[in-house]
């Protein structure tokens, strides 16, 4: 039983990442009707926001400490960070330690700026072009963004640790009498993803802005005829989708050391998730994200093992089966991207 | 001639001429001159021109005529390579069985993938082919089928290669131990020094170029056939075609299989030049690369894919060879501060930054020149008042 729950938990962190990226993809698709191949790059940029902030915060200078000697007998050079010397070792140290959660705030302006620049600068000009062109131009953009990041940060993965307090393992299931050991940060990631998804849905459901956007998704022209500037709202939705993808990346940095092609790796799977969930359906994207994440984790479970390495292809297999039996995906709506 | 009208025959002759004289055209600069850096006439690169030309021509038969954008064509290329290397391992280094098997295997795979993927169109088709190709990549990368059957099938991360203890039942006493065609080694070459120039004529290149010309001829015939007309009908109005009483699916499936076999042939040729096959050839960005080649040259045109493949491969080789030291040499005549800033900017786009250049060129083409180089040439021709030799085939990439 505890093993079973552990498999579900194992699937949750990847599932959360899939769900967050797929949510953003669906938002963009539902509002602007654009298939964004550069969405994985947004996820990657988010992860590198974590890296950047932790580098900024731990910027350090060297001083020579005459009281200590290194093994050659020379005075020892001590590295100390600006944070600690300005704010004292307690607060400064804590800030450095908590750089990944702080990067959530740090990433907001960056992701909004990137998102708006992308939409206004490029994608706006592709609304009327065929979907193939949209796919291709965003694919080109993804390559460029990826290369820019590689130029600045190099090709190797960069370890970005979670805060000390959250990088231990958590003992779960004590109340049920089960022994489940699970990394605390993954739990944090899951709940963070849930909160973000809940926030996006609440925003769409309970605010006037969200209502207008939903109306625009259903019938853009009519909303425009009512004198509402729907384009501007859709641009803002693009920025929100970019922030959601960015946050998914920010918080994912401690789980998987960010490298420049992580976006491409996640993108394909997120597309599969969107298609399985049903193109244009927000709940479908989220549900399919978690579902496929958990499925992947179960496929790698020793006890279930049909054959080696099933976990690497199970998502594709499921996607192919679903697309053939339920062409609209799990929760797809009629009339959305029928052909 | 050859069942072609005069214009098409001339186009074919252009391709034949380009392939025949490529060693001269690409080695335009004398060997020791400063510009020799831009020479592309070495065997490895010329082979890639021909092979990726075949790959792009095949892709264009699907994307250019039917408008179905496949994002998974690298799977066929990879499978073709694996099939050819297996033939080398089992039979010997003669490339003929390898090429035959690679085309057959890629064809069979494309029947399966095409049958399933073509049940959807538009973006769904792209994602389905992408999913299939990534699945094939995962299978090859971790050698799933091999582990399942208890043998080494793709040799996973290391890649498949020929070892000396492989059966190679047709390997005779005096057979060469490199890929060859009935004794003529693929990496053999003839070097012809004329004055300061040095021209290289590699066997492997001419072998691939022969296939390129055949592939090009076949693609002209397909473009001009009633079958090709049906494929265009699929692209321009699928629904109306159905109403006319024609079922579009067999035609699209046939186009998919043909382009898959082209890709398999290209994969087999890649393995014939260098008897290795690895999973990285099947990664989805490789499928993206063939899309880039086709679009850069001109989708739906005959000569476009060949031009696009040549341009991309030439740029890839030349640009990724440029390093900072070389750039400093080139811009050394400038004042230091200017030199350093130019080199700093250029280093983003050269050497390891080649992918950046590729991305930028690709985006510029999509945004400003959706018809690719062919359309660019026509626009130039139109501007300078030359009579356009366009036959009205510059199709927009369709959904």
Q: Select from B117, B124, B364 the residue whose CB has the most chain A CBs within 10 Å, as the one to mutate to test that interface.
A: B124
pLDDT band at A19 (very low <50, low <70, confident <90, very high): very high
Of residues A208 and A181, more confidently modeled: A208
Domains of chain A: 2-56+82-325 (1.10.3470)
Question: With a cut of 50, which residues of chain B have pLDDT below it?
Answer: 388, 390-395, 398-399
Average pLDDT over residues A55-67: 80
Q: Does B145 touch chain A (CB under 8 A)?
A: no
Of residues A265 and B260, more confidently modeled: B260
Of residues A59 and B259, more confidently modeled: B259
Distance separating alpha carbons of residues B389 and B14, to the nearest angstrom: 14
pLDDT at A339 over 60: no
Q: What integer pLDDT is reported at residue A301 of this predicted model? A: 77
**Nearest residue on chain B to A143, judged by CA atoms?**
B359
Of residues A98 and A77, more confidently modeled: A98
User: Quick check: A135 and B138 CB within 8 A?
Assistant: no
How many Å from the N-terminal Cα to the C-terminal Cα in chain B? 35
Q: What integer pLDDT is reported at residue A148 of this predicted model? A: 92
Conformational region of residue B150, where left means phi above 0, alpha means psi within -120 to 50, and beta covers everything else: left
Average pLDDT over residues A12-38: 88
pLDDT band at A92 (very low <50, low <70, confident <90, very high): confident
Give the minimum alpha-carbon distance from B261 to chain A in angstroms, rounded to a whole number.
23
User: Which of A32-41, A70-79, A86-95, A203-212 is predicted most confidently?
Assistant: A203-212
Distance separating alpha carbons of residues A83 and A314, to the nearest angstrom: 47
pLDDT at A177 over 90: no
Summarize pLDDT for A203-223 with one digit per residue, the tens: 999 999 999 998 988 888 899
C-alpha A313: how far from its chain's center?
A: 22
% of chain A beyond a pLDDT of 70: 93
Average pLDDT, chain A: 85
Q: Select from A143, A279, A292 the residue whose CB has the most chain B CBs within 10 Å, as the one to mutate to test that interface.
A: A143
User: Quick check: B363 and A137 CB within 8 A?
Assistant: yes
Q: Does B240 touch chain A (CB under 8 A)?
A: no
Residue pair B238/B144 in contact (Cβ under 8 Å)? The answer is: no
Nearest to A250 by CA among A11, A20, A59: A20
Write out residues 333-392 of B within 8 Å (CB-CB) of A: 348, 352-353, 355-356, 358-360, 362-363, 366-367, 370
Summarize pLDDT for A224-236 with one digit per residue, the tens: 899 999 889 999 9
Q: What integer pLDDT is reported at residue A308 of this predicted model? A: 66
Partner residue facing B131 (CB), from A125, A140, A272: A272
pLDDT band at A95 (very low <50, low <70, confident <90, very high): confident
User: Quick check: B399 and A275 CB within 8 A?
Assistant: no
Average pLDDT over residues A38-52: 93
User: Quick check: A316 and B348 CB within 8 A?
Assistant: no
Q: What integer pLDDT is reported at residue A174 of this predicted model? A: 62
DSSP of A121-153:
HTGGGGSSS-HHHHHHHHHHHHHHHHHHHHHHH
Say what the alpha-carbon torsion angle B78, B82, B88, B91 is, to the nearest 10 degrees.
-130
Of residues B106 and A308, more confidently modeled: B106
ipTM: 0.83
Q: Select from A22, A135, A336 the residue whose CB has the most chain B CBs within 10 Å, as the one to mutate to test that interface.
A: A135
User: Quick check: A327 and B284 CB within 8 A?
Assistant: no
Residue pair B72/B130 in contact (Cβ under 8 Å)? The answer is: yes
For the entire predicted model, the pTM comes to 0.87
> By a Cβ cutoff of 8 Å, what residues of chain A touch chain B?
35, 125, 130-133, 135-137, 139-144, 146-148, 150-151, 264, 268, 271-272, 275, 279, 307-309, 312-313, 316-317, 319-320, 323-324, 327, 337, 339
What kind of architecture, by CATH, is found in domain B40-319? Answer: Orthogonal Bundle (1.10)
Q: What integer pLDDT is reported at residue B392 of this predicted model? A: 46
């Amino acid at each position: 039983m505890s093993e079973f729950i552990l498999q579900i938990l194992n699937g949750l962190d990847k599932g959360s990442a899939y769900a967050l990226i797929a949510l953003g993809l669906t938002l963009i698709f539902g509002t602007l009707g654009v298939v964004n191949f550069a969405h994985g790059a947004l996820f990657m940029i988010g992860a590198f926001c974590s890296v950047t902030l932790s580098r900024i915060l731990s910027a350090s200078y060297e001083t020579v400490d005459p009281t200590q000697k290194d093994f050659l007998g020379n005075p020892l050079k001590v590295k100390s960070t600006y944070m600690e010397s300005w704010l004292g070792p307690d607060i400064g140290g804590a800030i450095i330690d908590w750089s990944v959660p702080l990067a959530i705030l740090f990433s907001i302006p960056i992701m909004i700026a990137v998102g708006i620049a992308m939409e206004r600068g490029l994608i706006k000009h592709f609304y009327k072009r065929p979907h193939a062109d949209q796919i291709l131009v965003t694919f080109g953009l993804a390559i460029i963004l990826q290369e820019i990041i590689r130029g600045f940060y190099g090709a190797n993965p960069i370890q970005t640790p979670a805060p000390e307090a959250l990088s231990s393992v958590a003992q779960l299931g004590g109340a049920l009498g089960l022994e489940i050991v699970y990394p605390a940060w993954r739990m944090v990631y899951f709940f963070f993803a849930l909160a973000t998804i809940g926030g996006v849905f609440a925003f769409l459901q309970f605010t006037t802005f969200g209502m207008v956007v939903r109306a625009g998704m259903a019938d853009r022209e009519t909303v425009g005829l009512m004198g509402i500037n729907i384009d501007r709202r859709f641009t803002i939705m693009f920025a929100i989708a970019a922030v959601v993808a960015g946050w998914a990346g920010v918080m994912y940095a401690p789980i998987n050391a960010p490298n420049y092609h992580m976006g491409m790796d996640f993108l394909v799977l997120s597309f599969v998730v969107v298609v399985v969930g049903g193109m244009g359906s927000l709940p479908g994207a989220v549900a399919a994200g978690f579902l496929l994440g958990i499925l992947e984790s179960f496929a790698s479970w020793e006890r279930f093992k049909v054959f080696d390495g099933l976990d690497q292809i199970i998502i594709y297999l499921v996607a192919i089966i679903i697309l053939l039996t339920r062409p609209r995906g799990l929760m797809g709506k009629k009339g959305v991207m029928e052909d | 001639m050859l069942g072609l009208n005069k214009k098409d025959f001339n186009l074919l002759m252009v391709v034949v001429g380009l392939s025949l004289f490529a060693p001269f055209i690409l080695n335009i600069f004398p060997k020791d001159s400063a510009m020799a850096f831009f020479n592309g006439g070495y065997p490895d690169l010329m082979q890639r021109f021909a092979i990726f030309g075949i790959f792009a021509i095949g892709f264009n038969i699907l994307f250019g005529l039917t408008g179905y954008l496949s994002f998974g064509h690298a799977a066929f290329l990879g499978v073709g390579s694996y099939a050819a290397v297996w033939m080398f391992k089992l039979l010997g280094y003669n490339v003929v069985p390898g090429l035959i098997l690679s085309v057959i295997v890629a064809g069979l795979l494309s029947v399966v993938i095409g049958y399933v993927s073509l049940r959807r169109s538009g973006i769904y088709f792209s994602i389905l082919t992408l999913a299939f190709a990534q699945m094939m990549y995962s299978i090859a990368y971790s050698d799933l089928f091999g582990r399942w059957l208890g043998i080494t099938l793709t040799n996973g991360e290391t890649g498949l290669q020929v070892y000396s203890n492989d059966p190679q039942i047709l390997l005779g006493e005096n057979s060469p131990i490199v890929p060859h065609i009935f004794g003529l080694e693929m990496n053999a070459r003839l070097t012809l020094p004329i004055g300061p120039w040095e021209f290289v004529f590699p066997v492997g290149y001419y072998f691939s170029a022969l296939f390129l010309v055949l592939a090009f001829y076949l693609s002209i015939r397909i473009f001009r056939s009633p079958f090709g007309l049906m494929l265009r009908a699929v692209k321009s109005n699928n629904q109306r075609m159905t109403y006319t009483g024609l079922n579009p699916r067999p035609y699209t499936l046939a186009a998919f299989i043909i382009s898959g076999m082209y890709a398999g042939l290209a994969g087999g040729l890649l393995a014939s030049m260098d008897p290795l096959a690895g999973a990285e050839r099947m990664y989805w960005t490789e499928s993206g690369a063939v899309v880039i080649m086709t679009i850069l040259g001109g989708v739906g045109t005959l000569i476009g894919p060949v031009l696009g493949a040549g341009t991309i491969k030439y740029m890839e080789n030349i640009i990724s060879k440029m390093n900072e030291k070389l750039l400093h040499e080139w811009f050394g005549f400038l004042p230091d501060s200017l030199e350093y800033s130019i080199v700093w900017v250029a280093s983003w786009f050269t050497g390891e930054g080649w992918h950046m250049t590729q991305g930028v060129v690709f985006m510029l083409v999509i945004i400003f020149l959706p018809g690719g180089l062919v359309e660019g040439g026509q626009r130039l021709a139109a501007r300078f008042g030359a009579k356009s030799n366009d036959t009205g085939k510059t199709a927009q990439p369709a959904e």
